Amino acid sequence: MRGEERNVVSPEGIPTGPTWTGKFFLGADSNGRDVAVRLLYGGRNSLEIGFIATAISVILATIIALVSGYFRGAIDGVLSRTMDLIWAYPVILLGIALGTALSLGGLDFGLFTVSGSSLFIPAIIIGVVYVPYMAKPLRGQVLGIREKEFVEAARAQGAGNLRILSQEVLPNVASSIIVFIPLMIANAILLEAALSFLGAGVQPPNPSWGTMIGDGIRLIPSAMHLTLIPGGMLVLAVLGINVFGDGVRDALDPRAEVRIEH
Partner 1 sequence: MTRFIVRRILSMIVVLFAISVLTFLIFQVIPNGDPAVRLGGRNSTPETRQAISKDWGFDKPIYEQYGITMKKIFTGTVVSYSQQINVLDEIKRDLPATFSLAIGAGIIWLAFGILFGVISAVRAGRFTDTSLTVVALIGVSTPVFLLGALVLWAFAYKLQIFPAGGYVKLSSDPWGWFTHMILPWFVLSVLFIGFYSRVLRSNILDTINEDYVRTARAKGLSERRILIHHVLRNSLIPVVSLWGLDFAAVIGGGAILTETVFNLGGVGQYAATSIEQLDVPPVLVITMLGAFFVVVLSAVVDVIYALLDPRIRLSG
Instruction: Catalog residues that contact partner 1 under the rule CB under 8 A.
Output: 81, 84-85, 88-90, 92-93, 96-98, 100-102, 104-105, 186, 190, 193-194, 197-200, 210, 213-214, 216-217, 220-221, 224, 227-228, 231, 234-235, 238-239, 242-243, 246, 257, 259-262
Q: C-alpha 151: how far from its chain's center?
A: 34
Are 21 and 1 within 8 A, CB to CB? yes
Q: Per-residue b/e over 74-109, b at no fewer than 16 CB within 10 Å?
A: eebeebbeebeebbeeebbebbbebbeebbeeeeee
Minimum distance of partner 1 from residue 192's CB (angstroms): 10
261 within 8 A of 89, measured Cβ to Cβ: no
Q: For partner 1, give the closer residue by CB, 171 or 204.
A: 204
C-beta closer to partner 1: residue 62 or 196:
196
Residues 117 and 119: their CA atoms lie apart, in Å, by 7
Taking the least distance from each CB to partner 1, the nearer of 62 and 68 is 68
We find the least distance from the C-beta atom of residue 88 to partner 1, in angstroms, to be 5
Q: For residue 193, give the DSSP letter.
A: H
User: Smallest distance from the beta carbon of 217 to partner 1, in angstroms?
Assistant: 5
Q: How far is the CB of 167 from partner 1 (least distance, A)?
A: 32
